[in-house]
């Protein structure tokens, strides 16, 4: 990774639209050369944040810095920043080559031909240089837009839902492609998306935004495995959240009472202070077994479950298991074929490793961050 002298820093950045606070006192550092994702539901303030970095929106308060340079009051074109939008905004009358060369020619760079050819190669469009945008697929147009932005060697490249217009399969391909390009070129990428899978696939650091603030920031695996709020637990993947009360702790384990059954949580994953907590377990971390058939030595076990729904989804089977206190717990099991799937009505025990659970403050809404299946996004 390049030196840290050109980190992007936001210091206490706030944006109000009238009485509405779209971005609320945001402070964060995006290390130079990293792939950073701003992830959150529609309306959480991601695009507004990006636009303030680009200079397209003035912050109500706070500063934007690139390295030691305060760019808060600089015009957009004076900033070492380029933006790629969902609508690629290519010049329709120019060829791929001319589109990509545009920035260099405008600046009077003499060896633009060689640089442009290299960039077109990087985005794997070498055979398409003489085509017009209308003769390209959506994914190819997106790569031209990327090449056109990257050729200016911006310190920071802003990507605003850049893959939003592509169909799912192409989007997956482009995610891998974008990541490869970013690793090769070492430009800082700040990527805005509401798609958690997209953020997790590409970014080395994700900031999860909600209502104008960052709920949690970290590496994808860290956020997924050790969420600190119910919003993050539900927005990144799926979580079972069960109300418990803390009964004690020893040797780095917090013991909680889960409707009369005791289970342990690693202290490093325990984020509650008031004696109660949402016990969180991911559905794929739970191992379901026929009631009483295994001793699950050392693991957490909850007994008394009854299967109420079985959904076969190809790679896995997804169960709903009704627990004695009435809650239905989701369990995902890989279809390895090692045993026959459970059926409705089967009695099961649920087990998981202590290190795979987390404990969250009980004062929070257990439904925060859930993706509503009715929501088209």
Binding site for ligand ATP (CB under 6 A): 17, 20, 22, 40, 42-48, 194
Q: Residue 36 or residue 278: which is nearer to ligand ATP going by CB?
A: 36
Cβ 294 to ligand ATP, closest distance in Å?
A: 45
CA distance 78 to 335: 55
Cβ 19 to ligand ATP, closest distance in Å?
A: 10
Q: Residue 38 or residue 330: which is nearer to ligand ATP going by CB?
A: 38
Q: Residue 3 or residue 19: which is nearer to ligand ATP going by CB?
A: 19
Q: Residue 42 or residue 134: which is nearer to ligand ATP going by CB?
A: 42
Cβ 143 to ligand ATP, closest distance in Å?
A: 23
Cβ 20 to ligand ATP, closest distance in Å?
A: 6
CA distance 141 to 85: 12
Cβ 329 to ligand ATP, closest distance in Å?
A: 31
Q: Residue 2 or residue 89: which is nearer to ligand ATP going by CB?
A: 89
Cβ 22 to ligand ATP, closest distance in Å?
A: 3
Cβ 377 to ligand ATP, closest distance in Å?
A: 8
Cβ 368 to ligand ATP, closest distance in Å?
A: 16
Q: Residue 43 or residue 275: which is nearer to ligand ATP going by CB?
A: 43
The residue whose Cβ lies closest to ligand ATP is 47
Q: Residue 49 or residue 140: which is nearer to ligand ATP going by CB?
A: 49
Q: Residue 19 or residue 295: which is nearer to ligand ATP going by CB?
A: 19
Q: Are 359 and 277 contacting, i.e. CB atoms less than 8 angstroms apart?
A: yes
Q: Residue 208 or residue 279: which is nearer to ligand ATP going by CB?
A: 208
Cβ 197 to ligand ATP, closest distance in Å?
A: 15
> Beta-carbon neighbour count of residue 29 at 10 Å?
16
Crossing angle of helices 168-185 and 138-150, in 10° steps, is 20
The secondary structure of the chain, three-state, reads CCCHHHCEEEEEEEEEECCEEEEEEEEEEECCCCEEEEECCCCCCHHHHHHHHHCCCCCCEEEEEECCEECCCCCHHHCCEEEECCCCCCCCCCCHHHHHHHHHHHCCCCCHHHHHHHHHHHCCCHHHCCCCHHHCCHHHHHHHHHHHHHCCCCCEEEEECCCCCCCHHHHHHHHHHHHHHHHHHCCEEEEEECCHHHHHHHCCEEEEEECCEEEEEECHHHHHHCCCCHHHHHHCCCCEEEEEEEEEEECCEEEEEECCEEEEEEHHHEECCCCEEEEEECHHHCEEEECCCCCCCCCEEEEEEEEEEEEECCCEEEEEEECCCCCEEEEEEECCCCCCCCCCCCEEEEEECHHHEEEEECCCCCCCCCCCCCCCC
């Amino acid at each position: 990774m390049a030196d840290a002298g050109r980190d992007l820093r936001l210091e206490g950045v706030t944006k109000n639209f009238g009485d509405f606070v779209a971005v609320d006192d945001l402070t964060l550092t995006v290390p130079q050369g990293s792939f950073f994702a701003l992830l959150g539901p529609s309306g959480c303030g991601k695009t507004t944040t990006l636009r303030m970095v680009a200079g397209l929106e003035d912050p109500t308060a706070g500063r934007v810095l690139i390295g030691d340079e305060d760019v808060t009051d600089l015009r957009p074109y004076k900033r070492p920043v380029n933006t790629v939008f969902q609508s690629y905004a290519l010049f329709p009358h120019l060829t791929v080559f001319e589109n990509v060369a545009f920035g260099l020619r405008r600046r009077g760079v003499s060896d633009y031909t060689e640089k442009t050819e290299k960039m077109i190669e990087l985005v794997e469009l070498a055979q398409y240089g003489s085509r017009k945008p209308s003769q390209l697929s959506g994914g190819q147009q997106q790569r031209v837009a990327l090449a056109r932005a990257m050729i200016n060697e911006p310190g920071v490249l802003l990507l605003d839902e850049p893959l939003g217009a592509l169909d799912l399969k192409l989007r997956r391909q482009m995610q891998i492609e974008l990541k490869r390009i970013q690793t090769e070129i070492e430009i800082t990428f700040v990527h805005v998306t509401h798609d958690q899978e997209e953020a997790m696939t590409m970014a080395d650091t994700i900031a999860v935004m909600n209502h104008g603030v960052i709920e949690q920031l970290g590496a994808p695996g860290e956020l997924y495995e050790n969420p600190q709020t119910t919003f993050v637990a539900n927005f990144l993947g799926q979580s079972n959240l069960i109300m418990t009360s803390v009964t004690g702790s020893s040797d780095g384990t917090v013991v909680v009472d889960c409707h009369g059954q005791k289970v342990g949580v690693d202290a490093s994953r325990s984020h509650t202070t008031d004696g109660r907590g949402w016990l969180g377990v991911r559905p794929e971390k739970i191992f379901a077994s026929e009631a009483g058939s295994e001793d699950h030595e050392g693991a957490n076990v909850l007994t008394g479950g009854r299967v109420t729904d079985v959904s076969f989804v190809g790679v896995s089977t997804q169960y709903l298991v009704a627990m004695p206190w009435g809650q239905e717990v989701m369990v995902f099991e890989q279809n390895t074929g090692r045993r026959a799937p459970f059926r409705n009505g089967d009695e099961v025990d649920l087990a998981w490793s202590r290190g795979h659970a987390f404990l969250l403050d009980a004062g929070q809404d257990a439904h925060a961050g859930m993706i509503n299946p009715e929501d088209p996004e």
